[in-house]
Amino acid sequence: MTVRRVYLVAGELSGDTLGAGLMRALKARHPRVEFRGIGGPRMIAEGFDSRLPLETLSVMGLVEVLRHLPGLVRVRRELKRDALAWQPDIMVGIDAPDFNLGLERQLREAGLTTAHYVSPSVWAWRQGRVKGIARSVDAMFTFLPFEAAFYRHHRVPVAFVGHPLADELPLDNDRAAARAELGLPAEERVLAVLPGSRASEIRFLGETFLAAVERLCALRPELRVVIPAATPALRTELEVLMGEHPALAERLILLDGQAREAMVASDAVLLASGTAALEAMLCHRAMLVAYRMAPMTHWLAKRLVKTEWISLPNLIAREALVPELIQDAATPEAIAEHMGEMLDDPAERAALETRFAAMHAGLQRDASRRACDAIEALVAGQPLPASVAPELAEEVAP
């Protein structure tokens, strides 16, 4: 059965990357397929008709979402009207579960087939949400096997597709070539710093990260630092912050994008929690995760989130491979101390690189193709094909 129209709603830059990969896989099989909804620059480059800017849904934190709730309700209403008027074969929400699951439920109740790409952390907190998810989607597409096990246990149709980023990044990477591309010294130590892809993350983490970097550089004259700016607007904010640290002027390079190149070129990475931590793992680089948020958001999160870790490498490994400094623990002094120990211990870094390479291999599943298989099955009204069924060792998620 030909897939003619697919409605996609991505919530941020990471979702834009996933959406673009899914679009390429679908176009390879259905050259005339059309796409519409909300997407970013990568999806638009693939021919996507974005009805609203990607930034419309880029809201950080529980408290921040509440403040923006009236506007988000209006956007959801507008997208519902647009999707029902366009009548796609399927609507796929990409991440952004607080927004997309509500939209998916409304569209499914109106007769459209719906799926959600990237499972929310329902296995970690408020597991009762799975009942609402079951009413919202015809299938969930998960990145990780234990997520798929959770949905199977709760009788929600699920496709374990692997992780698209694991497919994109090579199992072998070349640090020397990446350094040459970025104009970085071949022999000196290099630190990549990624303070986040949202303005709110820069506000909470930017000054803390730069203060920590200044401490690290003061004790390590050979250290070079690269900071990829996710967008031109974030580059401007970072330039303002850098102006307050003149001692770093000769040690720091600000890049336009090129986050992956920066991580591959580095000896270690300092970053905010999120998809960037997974990317650093898939670049096989030792890292430190630090995160700060609005005080009320943190207060609520501590009472709702039950996982032992927040970074994806630790969650995947089910052990503390990556140091995590959260909220009050994320001080310049603590970050500099932990990061310094990592930079000064090549044996520890090498061991982590080997471990991360093995984890990378386990997540390479050709995810966009498998998600495409699942979409075709849903559009045709068929069961999810065996090729995307979960390959599980556990009966339920940990």
State the average pLDDT for the chain: 88
Task: Calculate mean pLDDT across residues 207-218.
Answer: 92
Task: Calculate mean pLDDT across residues 370-397.
Answer: 74
331 touches 318 (CB < 8 A): no
- pLDDT of 340-382, one tens digit each? 999 999 999 999 999 999 999 988 999 999 999 999 999 999 9
Percent over 90 (pLDDT), the chain: 60
> 10 Å Cβ neighbour count for 222?
11
Q: Please report the pLDDT score of residue 107 as a whole number.
A: 98
Quote the CA–CA distance of 222 and 188 in Å, as a whole number: 6
Strands lying side by side in the sheet with 286-291: 252-256, 224-229, 190-194, 268-271, 286-291, 324-326
Sign, CA dihedral 24-115-112-18, equals negative
Count how many Cα atoms sit within 13 Å of the Cα of residue 34 in the half-sphere of its side chain: 11
**H-helix segments, 244-311:** 259-265, 275-282, 295-304
- pLDDT of 189-204, one tens digit each? 999 999 877 777 777 7
Residue with tokens 């010294």: 185
Q: Please report the pLDDT score of residue 351 as a whole number.
A: 96
Could you tell me the domains of the chain?
A: 5-162+365-388 (3.40.50.2000), 175-362 (3.40.50.2000)
pTM comes to 0.74
Instruction: List the helix and strand counts (H, then E) for the chain.
Output: 18, 13
- pLDDT of 145-166, one tens digit each? 778 888 999 999 999 999 888 9
Task: Calculate mean pLDDT across residues 66-92.
Answer: 90
The amino acid present at 350, given as its one-letter code, is A
DSSP string, 118-146: S--STTTS-TTHHHHHHHH-SEEEESSHH
Task: Calculate mean pLDDT across residues 203-228.
Answer: 91
255 vs 299, higher pLDDT: 255
Greatest mean pLDDT among 14-23, 36-45, 140-149, 163-172 lies in 36-45
- pLDDT of 229-260, one tens digit each? 988 888 888 888 888 888 888 889 999 989 99
Quote the CA–CA distance of 237 and 383 in Å, as a whole number: 49
What element of type H or E holds 158? Answer: strand 158-160
What element of type H or E holds 252? Answer: strand 252-256
- List of residues 6+ apart from 120 with CB closer than 8 A: 97, 101, 129, 133
What element of type H or E holds 24? Answer: helix 13-29
